[in-house]
Amino acid sequence: MTSRNNDKDRGEGEGADAQKTDSCPICKKPSLAAYEPFCSKRCADVDLHRWFSGGYGIPATEEDDSAGEEG
């Protein structure tokens, strides 16, 4: 019996990216292409929760509005 997609059987094509060498930013396990850059849906959800709950933030500097105003 022959496979319909021989490229995946040989580790070439799209199937070759199933396991990435980068590590998951949450648990440090190897990441998977399906959840990149995470290793699982659980780690992706943990990261999303951290964004929603304010665990992560983007640093910003506030400028003084009165410095640019005249008179």
61, exposed or middle or buried, with CB in 10 Å at 0-12, 13-18, 19+?
Answer: exposed
Average pLDDT over residues 10-37: 75
- 39-66: per-residue pLDDT in tens? 999 999 999 999 999 888 888 888 876 6
Structure tokens at 8: 């995946």
What was the pLDDT predicted at 60?
A: 87
The H or E element spanning position 19 is: strand 19-23
C-alpha of 43 from chain center: 9
Contacts of 48 (CB under 8 A, 6+ apart): none
